[in-house]
Structure 1
Amino acid sequence: MPGVTVYDARPEELYKCESDTCQRIIKPTCNTTGDLCEYTYTYGYGGDDGRETTGNLAVQNFTFGDDSEDTAVKGVVTFGCSSSTEGDFGASGVLGLNKGNLSLVSQLNLGRFSYYFAPEVNTTDNNAADDFIVFGDDDGITVPGNSGGSRPRYTPFFTTGAVRSANLDLYFVELTGIRVGGKDLQLGGGGGGSAGGSLEAVLSTSVPVTYLEKNAYGLLKKELVSALGSNNTEDGSALGLDLCYRSQHMDRAKIPDIAFVFGGNAVMKLQQWNYLYQDEDTGLECLTIPPSPDDSDGLSLIGSMIQTGTYMIYDLHKSRLGFQTSDPPPSQSSDLPSNPTSSATAQPKPRGVAVAVVTMACFVWCLVVLNA
């Protein structure tokens, strides 16, 4: 990747194929004694749309944060020293934050971590928030845009369900409801649903869009079409999205608010940048919450766009997810700018279907879990 600083690992930092660590984590087939421990990992969707890295397993002392501060996190970390990458990672590397043995969370024995993905906005403000991640306690952290001082809402991690039981490394939550324009949709529960009609959802930052179990998606789409009009929909298949309108139509439409309700009545209010994407090439504005694929076993997925502008807290000690949302822009209207590059006002710009810099867990719809 152009512009990336290459780390030249010393021979003693590289695991041999026959080492206990390599055999336990990678389970390779060694042809010759002394061969290096090679790996290949795929992130995101996998296949033609995925991002793949190949290299050798290595070990090194890591320090996260300022080494002179008490808050610095240190540890001996087993990591992948990449020699080849395919696809656009959009970053110099990938952090694995799931619960697998090789993840950074497990290796550093973190009981808590949190992150914030800043929304892209059209603004001349040089103090606009940046993305950040915190390992450990977050005392003193100020959530960007949270002028009202609201406190985080918490929902328990979902610990039951057939899909979850087969994928213990991932983070699951219970999606109990969806509100559209203040109306609560009655979720029927699909193959991945739990008792009471709620949905089983996995958290991901490697997949931008959010997928809903098909029955729940049908309810959401029906409400949006009722509000936005059924005669003005456009074909968004070229973008991989289902419900689309012309941007000119959306400029005049009254777009309803959407909120997700998680277990424990934890309500996440969404901004338009969380669920709408404006494509300048086609002139379409689309809902970025499509239905789950047929082979998803009814599972829903909370992608990175939904999490944008929200401070996400993973409290592993108490087995719960917290989230704290930013205030909406003071001049936010019901529409998104038709030409995001032409305005200097602080209006939200659709984040677009792009990969978040920090990748939490490998997720593909066949649910092959890689301990990244």
Structure 2
Amino acid sequence: MNFFFHLLQLLVFFLCFKQRLCFSATQAMVLPLKTETGLNSQPSNKISFHHNVTLTVELTVGSPPQAVTMVLDTGSELPWLNCKKKTQTLTSVFNPLSSSSYSRIPCISPICQKQTRDLPNPVVCDEEKLCDVFVSYADGSSLEGNLASDTFRIGSLNKPGTLFGCMGLGSSSNPQEDAKTTGLMGMNRGSLSFVTQLGLSKFSYCISGRDSSGVLILGEGNHSWVGNMAYTPLVQMSTPLPSYDRFAYTVKLEGIKVGNKILALEKSILVPDHSGAGQTMVDSGTQFTFLLGPVYTALKNEFLVQTKGVLVPLGDPNFVFQGAMDSCFRVPANQGKLPPLPAVSLMLNGAEMVVGGELLLYRVPGMVKGGDWVYCMTFGNSDLLGIAAFVIGNHHQQNLWMEYDLAKSRLGFVETRCDSAGQRLGLDP
């Protein structure tokens, strides 16, 4: 990160201290959560979330408060809310006209001139001379609106003046899923992210694989009972490159192992090239894990070799699940459970993320071949999506306690029963 970003962080922490607007380890949430006696001597901020394709957090915004549901996304920056008028299909919206604390940001504001991932450069103004915001995603969806501010309430904490995008135009690739959420909570390291605006030095979450629940902790917390974490450094790059996201949670991928065999990969393909393409990002807003084409092909081929006689390939070269996953298999519907499979290990700098068992395959909803279900490997080809990066999605983060330690610039994780973790932290079972 460059000097100006560090200066911004210091300014944010100073304002937090003076105005008592940011999280600290001594604050507790006023959401339907509680801390069990003896677990944390200094209760931290805990939020429950749910997930199917996305992880969602419930909070309130505006004056008087409006309940909103936001997608937890460590892969993006600017928080945004859907400010469209209510329709029959989209009822989860934020109404800025009903909030007395809502404020639109004009183009002449210094914050609008700031160069970030989600604010265009040069500045684009709408017809009312308001700061324009445009975000787009790899699936082809996009949103457009105005930069605004309002009071965000997370439990007992009020955070006036939180910047966000108030989105009213755009297209979506999944309108049914969007109807369940009001917006997106950008959690990367950018200057406009929720993490930076709240002055967080650490946050963590745990996603249950048994149901749709999980726990999110904002702040330090004390969760030593989860076991010893493995840590990998977050990669820093201050020089802007066209294909590199400097504010993502980037780690160093050093290799991939299938069973006990390490894939024969050129080391150069696992590191960013001269344009920045090839970084490895940890992204809670993406469901599956995606690998650059040559690496995906090597993994696919070795997985086929090691599962020969165990899994029956689909045999349809034209079928590609979600546009990027073409390693698919037939599993008898009456089989009950998947056969034993070789684990796939992502070998990171100082840590190893092991993906095994049912997390390796995903059943394609509604697709049946004869009397067989269709399952696809949960690793996809980044090239088919037009993503010039490795992306570790939330499916492979299930039942791992994931800790984002910004103060020490590292990512930690340890295998945990996340349903039990939620109960230990006072969540309803």
TM normalised by structure 1 equals 0.70
Give yes or no for contact 1:114–1:134 (8 Å, CA) kept in 2. Answer: yes
Counterpart-to-counterpart distance in 1, 2:297 and 2:213: 35
Aligned pair count? 302
Counterpart-to-counterpart distance in 1, 2:240 and 2:148: 35
SS of 1:99 mapped into structure 2 = coil
**In the superposition, relative to structure 1, how do residues 318 and 56 fare at CA in structure 2: closer, same or farther (>3 Å)?**
same
Residues 243-271 of structure 1: CA distance to partner in whole angstroms, max 9, x if unpaired?
1110229857431122222101x122224
Counterpart-to-counterpart distance in 2, 1:287 and 1:31: 44
Counterpart-to-counterpart distance in 1, 2:228 and 2:158: 26
CA drift at 1:287 = 0.4
Residue 246 of structure 1 pairs with residue 330 of structure 2: yes
Q: Which of 184, 194, 203 pairs up with 1:113?
A: 203
Counterpart-to-counterpart distance in 2, 1:20 and 1:201: 32
**In the superposition, relative to structure 1, how do residues 95 and 223 fare at CA in structure 2: closer, same or farther (>3 Å)?**
same
CA drift at 1:286 = 0.6
Counterpart-to-counterpart distance in 1, 2:260 and 2:160: 47
Matches within 5 A, 1:77-156: 77-84=162-169, 86-87=171-172, 88=175, 89=178, 90-121=180-211, 130-140=213-223, 149-156=226-233
Q: CA RMSD of the aligned region, Å?
A: 3.4
Aligned partner of 2:91 in structure 1 is 2
CA drift at 1:73 = 7.5
Q: Using the aligned pairs only, state the percent identity.
A: 26
Give yes or no for contact 1:192–1:297 (8 Å, CA) kept in 2. Answer: no
Aligned partner of 1:219 in structure 2 is 298
Counterpart-to-counterpart distance in 2, 1:5 and 1:200: 35
Give yes or no for contact 1:158–1:200 (8 Å, CA) kept in 2. Answer: no
Matches within 5 A, 1:1-372: 1-4=90-93, 6-8=95-97, 9-10=99-100, 13-24=103-114, 26=119, 27-30=122-125, 35-42=129-136, 44-47=137-140, 50=141, 52-65=142-155, 67=156, 72=157, 74=159, 76-84=161-169, 86-87=171-172, 88=175, 89=178, 90-121=180-211, 130-140=213-223, 149-159=226-236, 166-193=244-271, 200-229=279-308, 232-234=312-314, 235=316, 236-237=319-320, 239-240=322-323, 241-248=325-332, 253-264=339-350, 266-282=351-367, 283-293=373-383, 299-327=389-417
**In the superposition, relative to structure 1, how do residues 281 and 46 fare at CA in structure 2: closer, same or farther (>3 Å)?**
closer
**In the superposition, relative to structure 1, how do residues 276 and 75 fare at CA in structure 2: closer, same or farther (>3 Å)?**
farther
Which one has a larger percent strand, Structure 1 or Structure 2?
2
Counterpart-to-counterpart distance in 2, 1:278 and 1:45: 23
Amino acid at match of 1:28: V
CA drift at 1:134 = 1.9
SS of 1:22 mapped into structure 2 = helix
Amino acid at match of 1:45: A
CA drift at 1:111 = 1.3
Give yes or no for contact 2:102–2:150 (8 Å, CA) kept in 1. Answer: no
| Runs of 5+ consecutive residues of structure 1 not aligned to the other structure | 122-128, 143-148, 330-372
